[in-house]
Structure 1
């Protein structure tokens, strides 16, 4: 099963993956990752997802916890949390391959009702477990649809649903149930995170975020930090800095241009906070990233 899924994923990646190795498929939320060499550190605020590693190895750090995983393992992220990731094992002869599926909270909620599943005790937002056979089988049939363009629009939704079902009923099930509970603290915080992602360059008072989440400001702050490991202000700051880094490395923006584009009013403050997160001032860091690419 694993070898056949690897063959299909590698064939698809070789055909369509751009130089950076991220190939978005026609199936919403499904992405193929290919990398032919170990990478530097990648900073992101990850969305809820399941990542099935098929070849090579990767390391992900979230807060003080570090996870190393390789072929046959699945990484599950169940909240919008800051992560630092790095592909640690890959080469031109044996590239790193993984299949990433964004988790759909609405679909999880629907399945939980049908499965009569109870909400589990809250767990840490990042987990690594061996990939369940049923999950790999569902992923295989989903990837096979890419070779059947006439069947793809008719069948992909039910195959995505099946993949979510096996994730929910397998080893990762307890970890993702919070995503499907409509009035859970995780779902309320998710509504505020959506606003932060959409308007990160604008001032966002905590009172507005708390209102979106349907909580008092003090309760919202407590639950937001418990779920994401950051305060709302720190979360917004990381969104700004990550986008500024992308503007400089991918689009050639200057440090000052990127700073103002993401909402900073002071280049000096931007430089201080950028260096604190990425370890180098903006100019040197963007030069290093471009050179390594």
Structure 2
């Protein structure tokens, strides 16, 4: 019996390794230079040949799978590292910090991100016998879990569609539903069910996140927002931080600073103008908070980012 179990374990390990190697080959063939592409609706591929500095962005509800290398997400005080053996699941739009940790020209970082549609998740839940909850669970909206054989195999089949553009419109929705089902049956099931509650717009936290994203440049009155959501101030703070790992004020500040950075880089605004556009009235206060998040003052940060964007031959 022990010999049979050992042999079965060896076979499963070989199958998993074959799937991982195929995932590397298919993503590497689909994106041959550093950057990102979206070859299919909702499917994003990434390639980086060197480790990256921290990238500040808003992560959408999605699943991220690494074929080669490793990456880390920072949310509040929590760190979420994932690699070819682990995937990351996010169920709410969150201002986060991402950093590619392992990458080289010989073994570039290769990954995919699959956007999650709350409607599809709700449909699969109902077919699987899960009734949507009217009250969102107090679970963190992002986490990392082990990538098991069935989920890895479905992910590989998803990338095979890159070679079958005629079949992709038919098979892509089916494979996406299977992937969602695998999540629901796994250790991230409760977190994924969380997405359906937030996606319906009936969740107080979902409404708060959406309000903050739309009105981040306006002054935040936590007491008024909590009252509009039918929650106490303490209850709102507790539930919001349980889901997003940030307080409402921290969430708003992240959105403001990331948008200010984008404005300075994309529209060539000076720090004072960008600060005013995102809701800051005091340029000194903006500079202090900007340096606290990004590590350097706005002007130095822009200089560094623009230098990094120049072709190597021009340096």
TM-score by length of 2: 0.79
Q: Structure 2 residue aligned with 1:23, among 37, 59, 62?
A: 37
Q: Distance in 2 between matches of 1:277 and 1:137?
A: 39
Give the aligned partner of residue 171 of structure 2.
155
Give the aligned partner of residue 63 of structure 1.
76
Unaligned runs of 5+ in 1: none
Residues 106-125 of structure 1, C-alpha deviation per residue, up to 9 Å, x if partnerless? 32222222212377964433
Q: How many residues align?
A: 288
TM-score by length of 1: 0.85
What is the RMSD of the two structures over their aligned residues, measured on CA atoms?
A: 2.9
Distance 1:150 1:114, change over 3 A: same
- DSSP 3-state at the match of 2:98: strand
Give the aligned partner of residue 27 of structure 2.
9
Residues 197-237 of structure 1, C-alpha deviation per residue, up to 9 Å, x if partnerless? 23322345446644775545554333212221222222112
- DSSP 3-state at the match of 1:2: helix
Q: Structure 1 residue aligned with 2:186, among 149, 170, 185?
A: 170
Distance 1:122 1:134, change over 3 A: farther
Give the aligned partner of residue 247 of structure 1.
263
Distance 1:66 1:260, change over 3 A: same
Q: Distance in 1 between matches of 2:216 and 2:89?
A: 25
Per-residue deviation at 1:158?
A: 2.4
Distance 1:252 1:11, change over 3 A: farther
Q: Distance in 2 between matches of 1:154 and 1:142?
A: 12
Per-residue deviation at 1:92?
A: 1.2
Unaligned runs of 5+ in 2: 1-18, 310-315
Q: Distance in 2 between matches of 1:98 and 1:198?
A: 30
Give the aligned partner of residue 260 of structure 1.
276
C-alpha contact (below 8 Å) 1:81/1:229 kept by paired residues:
no
**For structure 1, which segment, 33-42 or 153-162, has the greater mean C-alpha deviation from structure 2 after superposition?**
153-162
Distance 1:273 1:60, change over 3 A: same
Q: Distance in 2 between matches of 1:183 and 1:170?
A: 20
